[in-house]
Amino acid sequence: MTDFYIPEEPTPAAAIAAIGEDLALFDDWMDRYEFIIELGRKLPAYPAQWQDDTHRVRGCQSQVWLAHELQGERLYFTGASDAAIVSGLVALVLRVFSGRTKAEILGTSAQFLKDLGLIGALSSNRGNGVAAMVERIHALTAAA
């Protein structure tokens, strides 16, 4: 049985607000990066058999895989990356989108990444990659 990410916050908006509060605790981006890396270390284990082309997120500089499962009215996601900082970004994205309804997921754009300063603080390749994760989640949701 795969452990899908279970969010603590009740809505995507609440998760985004909580992430903003977490990031605001740190004075500089090096400390924020360490925090993000630590989030990645806490992700549920990702099955090795899903580290394949079907689950791979295109557009990411690093290897990134996402899987999902529909449970009732909610979609749950799990993910992994071969890079520490990107694993943390996967954790942030899952915190916003996993365990939500289709309407909540499709109603939440990648704009929060810019609003939180994540896109501007990342290399352009990583910024494009994290946006690609959100696009993949939207595509999986629309198809579910």
Predicted confidence at residue 1, as pLDDT, reads 45
Residue 114: band (very low, low, confident or very high) from pLDDT cuts 50, 70, 90: confident
Assess whether pLDDT exceeds 80 at residue 122.
no
Per the confidence metrics, is the pTM higher than 0.85?
Answer: yes
Assess whether pLDDT exceeds 80 at residue 126.
no
Domains of the chain, by residue range, sit at: 12-143
In this structure, which topology does domain 12-143 adopt according to CATH? Answer: Sufe protein. Chain: A (3.90.1010)
Q: 100-101 and 74-81 as β-strands: parallel, antiparallel, unpaired?
A: antiparallel
Contact 79, 129 (CB under 8 A): no
Residue 91: band (very low, low, confident or very high) from pLDDT cuts 50, 70, 90: very high
Q: What dihedral angle (degrees, nearest 10) is formed by the CA atoms of 101, 112, 85, 26?
A: -120
Assess whether pLDDT exceeds 50 at residue 60.
yes
Which among 19, 57, 60, 110 is annotated as catalytic?
60
Asked if 60 is an active-site residue, the reply is yes
